Structure 1
């Protein structure tokens, strides 16, 4: 069904739009901080995805996407970079609002360092696999910056939100990769899957979430 990817995008967006107006959460009042960062980070990811599509690291199954394409990619991929970070930031703010305790505060830095070291190791040992090498190299950069400059409190809140976000991530990406809407060139990745989802997609999602969070927190600090 050609509307599959579009429906998945809407499935991501609609609950967030509805619950953004929750009286306690009031996430709609923070939209002015979310969208500038989403547009900036999304623009960078669009270039990344275009490169992967151009070089056949993956391709979009025409049976499950609309026919309209821009720079080789279906319009749904651009919507993905708007709706998914929006949903991730909603999860982040919801947890912070409803669960005030900083569950991961004490382990935030060690956890970041662990994933940083793991990312470096995977990137170096798989330099011949484009999807693996690029994902974990970029993740290394993002984790290094946040390890050095992000406050422990924000890091702890991020990791909790990231682990929670894995639940909808596995559902949505499970459909994307099992039908499949997105088809991967396994010569360019580790071919290690969580269900049907490549391991690299988890790094990709971590980069997308953390980059948008950094932008979001920066705009919250800078904008009145």
Structure 2
């Protein structure tokens, strides 16, 4: 039964959010198309990143917890991860944004965005010899710059707050993937390519990696969601 572990993690990550998507006060199911298009688009980049790092030995997967099927050299469960995790996160953001006013003051959001970019750039330079933190911190800094200063989004602060709310769930899922409660990790990391600081069993870089992935999922979700609402010509 251990071979279904990663599959079960994906299932339990998404199932509650999926069922509540049909709640009459939420109606997230009406936006499934926008989500699928958005998450698929973002997944292309992150799967390419995943394939690259797997081939380089930055991380690898424990076959004991996998059903065995692979695509592009990745377990199918890993490919599902890029749909299941964003679904739960986007659904949670959608609900909180629908029922609560979470918008930040524009000046504070600007300060937060600039500070985040500068800190991430400094960290990427400092850890330039270790590929996981270097790539993660650098691309996240670039992502925040593009989203806030070029694409002019107004929800960086709100998304960051919601991501913080989601952190217990993130730590639970990634904790199991990185070995919490198991005899060995499902996802293993090359100690030479990570900082080495962990939250329980989770490399600190994973929190930034997840943050960047969710920001882009949010951007494209609301972009395609808006198009869904536009009247047909």
Aligned-residue RMSD, C-alpha:
1.4
Q: What does residue 56 of structure 1 align with?
A: 57
Give the alignment's TM-score, normalised by structure 2.
0.91
Gaps of 5+ in 1: none
Q: What does residue 223 of structure 2 align with?
A: 218
Partner SS state of residue 59, structure 1: strand
CA deviation after TM superposition for structure 1 residue 67, in Å = 1.1
* Distance in 2 between residues matched to 1:219 and 1:41, nearest whole Å: 13
CA deviation after TM superposition for structure 1 residue 105, in Å = 3.7
Q: What does residue 25 of structure 1 align with?
A: 26
* Distance in 1 between residues matched to 2:123 and 2:85, nearest whole Å: 26
Q: What does residue 150 of structure 1 align with?
A: 152
Q: Which residue among 212, 219, 230 is the counterpart of 1:207?
A: 212
Residue 195 to residue 156, structure 1, CA distance change in 2 (3 Å): same
Query: How many pairs were matched up?
Result: 222
CA deviation after TM superposition for structure 1 residue 68, in Å = 1.2
Q: What does residue 168 of structure 1 align with?
A: 169
Where has structure 1 moved over 6 Å in runs of 4 or more? none
CA deviation after TM superposition for structure 1 residue 221, in Å = 2.7
Pairs within 5 Å for 1:1-224: 1-99=2-100, 101-102=101-102, 104-106=104-106, 107-148=108-149, 149-152=151-154, 154-178=155-179, 179=182, 180-223=185-228, 224=230
Give the alignment's TM-score, normalised by structure 1.
0.94
Gaps of 5+ in 2: none
Partner SS state of residue 22, structure 1: coil
CA deviation after TM superposition for structure 1 residue 166, in Å = 1.1
Contact 1:108 1:159 survives alignment (8 Å): no
